[in-house]
Each structure stands twice: as C-alpha cells, then as structure tokens.
C-alpha cells in the first residue's frame, strides 16, 4: 500500500521545518534571485509576493500527464506570480502581469486556506495535490502542508516547477514531496537571459533537477499507471530551438539515466510579450517536423520513457 513520503516524518519534524521555512522569509532566499527582502513584513521583490502565497485557482486538472490525471484528475493549486519572466509565458496574466500583494479572493491564501484546498481536492477524489509554480512560495507551501497533514492529507504531493529553485527550498522539501515535475526550459545562458530574464537559469536548473532526482529517484507508477514517487521532467520544444532540446535531452540521459521519465511538449504558441516586432524568431507555432525531430533525438540519446497521451482505461469505460 503506497504511503506518501511526508507521512513518514514526525509531527515535530514537519513543524520544525515549517517554522524554519517561514523564518527564512525575513531575509528571503526562497529562490535563486536571493532578493533578501523581509517578506514577513509583506515586502517583496521579483516574485511580487509578500508574507502569504497568492492562489489563482485550484481544481481537478485533466490536462496533466496521464500518470498524474488518471481518471479523477490531478488536484492542481495554481500560485500567482513567478520568479521568472518568461517572455513567451502562456499564463502571464497570473504569473507576472497582475498587481503584487496578497490575494483577496474568497479562496484566501493563508496556510489554513491552502490546506483546506488540498483536503477538498483529496475529498473530490484527485489522485494527488499538484502545486503549480511553487518556487517563490516554497516556505508557504510547507506551512500549508503541515496543516493539511494534521487534518488528514494522505495523497501524493507533486511539486510542479520551472526548476528555478533554490537548494535551500529543495532541502526543506526533502521527504515531503513525492513527485518532482520540473520544466527544463533552456540550455544556454544567452537564451535564458533573453527569454527568461535569468542568465543563471541553466546552471540552477541542472543543479536543482539533480537534487530532485537524488531525493525521489526515477518515476514509479502503480498497477493503474498512476505516479507515486519520482522525477518527471517536462521540456517545451521551442521554434528553432532543437539545438537546445538536444543538449537538454543528452544531459538528462547522461546525468540522470535513460530511465528518466520525460514529457516532450509540442504546445508552444506565441504569448506574453512575443509578437512580430518583439521576439519575432519565436512568433510562430512549432512545426510538426520540429517536434518529430525532437522525439527522434530523445530516442537517439537513449531515453526510453517518453510521455504518450492516451485516455486512461477507466475513462474509456466511463465514456
């Protein structure tokens, strides 16, 4: 019988970690920006988030990977704001184009409110709790998890991240997160500086993903094909970016191994600040032949666990 990692931690350990995490907000190093502002005093910098996390929405998500969505959905909790500035962001309205500060929606953003969301998603039958864009609110996530565990949380936790995570935050999550799902975006510092406004992104992502793999290992699925524990890497194939794709896939195969579960994504579309005038080189959709080449490269470098979308057999029975 699967038992989430966090249930193996004592109540005292969870509370101690949460206190340490929240205290670190006074001189914030929650992400690689190292802004060092006092978020406990509701100050903020790059992430535009003060003491409390801002929840944009939460619901059972059926658009995630098959091993996460299953037949009852992945329980996604979307956080607003972000520590990156992806110029092509498809969620830019909630990631970095909204006003800073605490969410005042009925959902609320206190740890108790986020814990209640987690438990509601579990009660609705979701297979996991899926934190989307948690990099800048890792302390608040841990604080909420501590509350939810005490109130009966028993499903896996997914940490759905850009991989622009600090080692300090990942250390706090060790033994709490069951499934890490980083998105390895760019390989080169130049492109990361241009498109993400974070020149150090590639170095940070490589170190973060290796640490995630050290904590949870390769992705493990149960008899129903549902993810229980491990690493799942996403890579969005970009127009004209097959050289970046090759470098990333070669690194994954070499450093993490051919059994690493990888989702190559082909859904890029111009968004955010991309236009015919600005970033014109990526102002188009991905060509089908580009994606086929990305898949070929993955097989060439030895990766053998590529995500393939198909309805779960239990959904097929329903419909």
Q: How buried is residue 319: exposed, middle or buried, by Cβ count under 10 Å (0-12/13-18/19+)?
A: exposed
Instruction: State which fold the 17-318 domain adopts.
Output: TIM Barrel (3.20.20)
| φ, ψ of residue 83 in degrees (nearest 5) | -95, 0
The pLDDT value given to residue 265: 97
User: Per-residue pLDDT tens for 185-211?
Assistant: 999 999 999 999 999 999 999 999 999
Q: Which helix (H) or strand (E) holds 265?
A: strand 261-265
Cα–Cα distance between 231 and 224 in angstroms, integer?
18
User: Per-residue pLDDT tens for 278-313?
Assistant: 999 999 999 999 999 999 999 999 999 999 977 655
Q: Which helix (H) or strand (E) holds 73?
A: none
User: Per-residue pLDDT tens for 138-191?
Assistant: 999 999 999 999 999 999 999 999 999 999 999 999 999 999 999 999 999 999
Q: Where are the domains of the chain?
A: 17-318
Cα–Cα distance between 103 and 109 in angstroms, integer?
6
User: Per-residue pLDDT tens for 71-125?
Assistant: 999 999 999 999 999 999 988 777 766 666 554 444 348 999 999 999 999 999 9
Strand blocks (E) in 89-215: 129-132, 157-161, 179-182
């Amino acid at each position: 019988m699967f038992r989430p990692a966090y249930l193996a931690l004592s109540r005292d350990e969870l509370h101690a970690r949460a206190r340490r995490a929240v205290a670190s907000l006074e001189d914030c190093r929650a992400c690689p920006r190292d802004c060092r502002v006092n978020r406990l005093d509701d100050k903020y910098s790059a992430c535009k988030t003060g003491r409390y996390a801002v929840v944009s929405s939460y619901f059972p998500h059926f658009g995630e990977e098959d091993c996460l969505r299953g037949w009852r959905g992945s329980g996604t909790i979307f956080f607003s704001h972000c520590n990156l500035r992806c110029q092509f962001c498809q969620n830019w309205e909630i990631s970095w184009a909204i006003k800073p500060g605490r969410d005042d929606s009925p959902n609320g953003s206190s740890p108790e409110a986020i814990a209640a969301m987690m438990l509601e998603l579990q009660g609705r039958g979701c297979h996991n709790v899926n934190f989307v864009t948690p990099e800048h609110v890792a302390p608040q996530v841990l604080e909420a998890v501590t509350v939810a565990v005490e109130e009966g949380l028993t499903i896996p936790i997914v940490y759905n991240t850009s991989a622009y995570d600090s080692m300090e935050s990942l250390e706090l999550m060790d033994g709490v997160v069951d499934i890490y799902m980083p998105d390895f975006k760019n390989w080169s510092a130049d492109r990361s500086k241009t498109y993400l406004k974070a020149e150090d992104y590639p170095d940070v992502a490589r170190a973060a993903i290796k640490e995630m793999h050290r904590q949870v290992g390769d992705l493990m699925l149960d008899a129903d094909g549902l993810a229980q524990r491990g690493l799942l890497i996403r890579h969005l194939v970009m127009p004209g970016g097959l050289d970046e794709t090759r470098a990333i896939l070669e690194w994954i195969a070499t450093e993490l191994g051919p059994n690493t579960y990888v989702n190559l994504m082909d859904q890029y579309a111009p968004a955010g600040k991309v236009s015919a005038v600005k970033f014109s080189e990526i102002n188009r959709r991905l060509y089908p032949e580009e994606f086929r080449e990305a898949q070929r490269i993955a097989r060439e470098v030895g990766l053998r666990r590529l995500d393939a979308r198909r309805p779960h057999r239990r959904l097929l029975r329903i419909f």
